[in-house]
């Protein structure tokens, strides 16, 4: 959706002393790059994973989630009121027959739920846009320090947030990674950029920590004053740190070890079967190809052209584009007999998982999708098929004859976005 801004709104004050609810380009750009992700619970994903995904707890149907996304998008772009959003939400819920969602039974519950969805998305997108603005290199040259500002208009101010108001720290102080507002539900604190003369040598406050145990028994250690799930800087995962070429070379050499998985669920959390069933093979193995050129030709025949886009995950509807020439250059001709199984995996998976990973060097957040199934291969082991995609493109695939349940189930992690019953 285009951003409807006046000339004064286009010149949004990067220092942060403009109106809180004035939409600006970085804010909308942050929201628009998100991918719709069906979830059952609000904490199916946590912290920086929200930089990449739009979620509404309990909204598992693609069409429902898409309509909710459109309403939030319009609320951000056009500065719509919460009363407008509540009317849209009611119409969307009725259109899709969505029932039994948390808060649906009473007017107070419906008002609470719509307020959470509306304010959480507006405040998080605002904060992410602000993060990008505050990290502008030209702004940092003149205003390299950040000031925490408490909003004194909130009905129930948090004492610690009030105590942080006026705190000035260097922009790269680690404290901002966990305390960049909003720092909880309904928090309206913000950050402004200030000149060096305002910094008086203060150190980041240490208010101690508390432990939150989630519904799965996982214990999370959080700084006092910050709500569960809010101990991160919205948008920071989309603005990776600049590293030297030498440092980046070292991380590239680390390959998969350069990435850490953010809070994840496993097959047990979703009460899925302990054994992935072995499906009857639809496609027969093809012949061995002698060269990569022959592999590319085989892929083009399989795709019916130079490339093909597969939609995986049922209602999740995640597009995976595969280019025959690119994939062909990375396939060992000795394994080319498995090519017909790739389409079988993407067209009829057993499970599809969304995983959120952070680069250990740059801090960049990426969402990847893993597709899993097993098919018969002439013996009792079965052939484990796995494909992984990111940014809508196939990144890797492997077909492994194995009956090792520990190994197989280790692949089943993240947010379960599709499951064959």
Give dist(CA 222, CA 216) in Å, integer: 17
Mean pLDDT for the stretch of residues 386-406: 89
Q: Are 152 and 189 in contact (CB under 8 A)?
A: no
Query: What is the percentage of the chain residues whose pLDDT exceeds 70?
Result: 93
Q: What is the 3-state secondary structure (H, E, C) of the chain?
A: CCCCCCHHHHCCCCCCCCCCCCCCHHHHHHHHCCEECCCCCCCCCCHHHHHCEECCCCCCCHHHHHHHHHHHHHHHHHCCCHHHHHHHHHHHHHHHCCCCCCCCCCHHHHHHHHHHHHHHHHHHHHHHHHHHHHCCHHHHHHCCEEEEECCCCCCCCCHHHHHHCCCEEECCCCHHHHHCCCCCCCCCCEEEEECHHHCCCCCCCCCCEEEEECCCCCEEEEECCCCCCCCCCCCHHHCCCCCCHHHHHHHHHHHHHHEEECCCEECCCCCCCCCCCEECCCCCCCCCCCCHHHHHHHHHHHHCCCEEEEEECHHHCEEEEEEHHHHHCCCCHHHHHHHHHHHHHHHCCCEEEEEEEEECCCCCEEEEEEEEEEECCCCCCCEEEEEEEECCEEEEEEEEECCCHHHHHHCCEEEEEEECC
pLDDT of 328 reads 86
Q: How far is CA 5 from CA 15, 23, 28, 29, in A?
A: 19, 8, 11, 13
pLDDT of 115 reads 94
pLDDT band at 387 (very low <50, low <70, confident <90, very high): very high
pLDDT above 70 for 237:
yes
Sign of torsion over alpha carbons 201, 204, 205, 206: negative
pLDDT of 1 reads 45
pLDDT band at 395 (very low <50, low <70, confident <90, very high): confident
State the average pLDDT for the chain: 87
pLDDT of 243 reads 63
Mean pLDDT for the stretch of residues 336-346: 88
For 156: left if phi > 0, alpha if psi spans -120 to 50, otherwise beta; the answer is beta
pLDDT of 361 reads 83
Mean pLDDT for the stretch of residues 170-194: 95
pLDDT of 375 reads 93
pLDDT above 70 for 11:
no
Tens digit of each residue's pLDDT (9 = 90 or more) over 256-282? 778 888 867 899 989 999 999 999 988
Query: What is the percentage of the chain residues whose pLDDT exceeds 90?
Result: 54
pLDDT above 70 for 197:
yes
pTM of the model: 0.76
Mean pLDDT for the stretch of residues 163-175: 96
**To 10 degrees, what angle do helices 62-78 and 25-32 make?**
180
pLDDT of 350 reads 96
As a whole number of Å, the CA-based R_g of the chain is 24
Most confident of 236-240, 283-287, 294-298: 294-298
Mean pLDDT for the stretch of residues 2-31: 55
| Cis geometry, peptide bond prior to residue 182 (ω within 30 degrees of 0) | yes
pLDDT of 40 reads 84
pLDDT of 6 reads 35
pLDDT of 19 reads 46
pLDDT above 80 for 17:
no
Give dist(CA 227, CA 229) in Å, integer: 6
End-to-end CA distance of the chain: 36
Pick the residue with more confidence: 244 or 38? 38
pLDDT band at 317 (very low <50, low <70, confident <90, very high): confident
pLDDT of 21 reads 53
Least confident of 69-73, 358-362, 377-381: 377-381
pLDDT above 60 for 13:
no
pLDDT of 141 reads 94
Mean pLDDT for the stretch of residues 105-114: 93
Mean pLDDT for the stretch of residues 205-213: 96
| Residue 78, both tokens | 């056009």
């Amino acid at each position: 959706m285009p951003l409807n801004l006046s000339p004064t709104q286009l010149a949004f004050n990067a220092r942060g002393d403009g109106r809180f609810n004035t939409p600006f380009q970085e804010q909308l750009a942050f929201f628009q790059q998100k991918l719709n992700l069906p979830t059952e619970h609000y904490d199916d994903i946590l912290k920086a994973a929200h930089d990449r995904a739009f979620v509404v707890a309990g909204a598992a149907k693609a069409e429902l989630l898409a309509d909710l996304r459109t309403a939030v998008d319009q609320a951000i772009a056009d500065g719509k009121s919460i009363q407008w959003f509540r009317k849209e939400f009611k119409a969307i819920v009725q259109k899709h027959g969505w029932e039994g969602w948390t808060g649906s039974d009473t007017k107070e519950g419906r008002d609470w739920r719509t307020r959470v969805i509306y304010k959480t998305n507006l405040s998080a997108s605002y904060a992410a846009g602000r993060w990008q603005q505050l990290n502008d290199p030209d702004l940092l040259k003149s205003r390299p320090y950040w000031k925490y500002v408490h909003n004194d208009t909130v009905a129930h101010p948090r004492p610690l947030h009030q105590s942080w108001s006026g705190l000035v720290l260097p922009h790269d102080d680690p404290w901002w990674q966990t305390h960049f507002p909003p720092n909880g539900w309904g928090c309206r604190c913000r950050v402004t950029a200030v000149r060096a003369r305002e910094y008086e040598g203060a150190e980041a406050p240490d208010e101690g920590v508390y432990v939150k145990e989630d519904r799965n028994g996982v214990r999370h250690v959080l700084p006092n004053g910050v709500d569960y799930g809010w101990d991160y800087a919205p948008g920071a995962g989309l603005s990776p740190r600049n590293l030297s070429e030498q440092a980046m070379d070292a991380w590239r050499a680390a390959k998969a070890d350069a990435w850490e998985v953010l809070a994840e669920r496993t097959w047990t959390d979703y009460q899925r079967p302990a054994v992935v069933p072995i499906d009857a093979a639809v496609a027969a193995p093809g012949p061995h190809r002698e060269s990569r050129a022959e592999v590319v030709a085989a892929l083009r025949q399989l795709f019916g052209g130079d490339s093909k886009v597969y939609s995986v995950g049922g209602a999740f509807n995640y597009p995976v584009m595969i280019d025959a020439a690119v994939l062909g250059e990375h396939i060992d001709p000795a394994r080319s007999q498995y090519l017909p199984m790739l389409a079988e995996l993407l067209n009829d998976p057993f499970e599809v998982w969304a995983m959120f990973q952070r680069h250990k060097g740059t801090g960049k957040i990426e969402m990847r999708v893993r597709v899993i199934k097993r098919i018969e291969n002439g013996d009792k082991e079965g052939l484990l098929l796995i494909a992984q995609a990111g940014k809508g493109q196939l990144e890797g695939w492997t077909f492994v004859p194995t009956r090792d349940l520990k190994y197989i189930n280790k692949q089943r992690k993240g947010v379960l976005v599709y499951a064959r019953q």
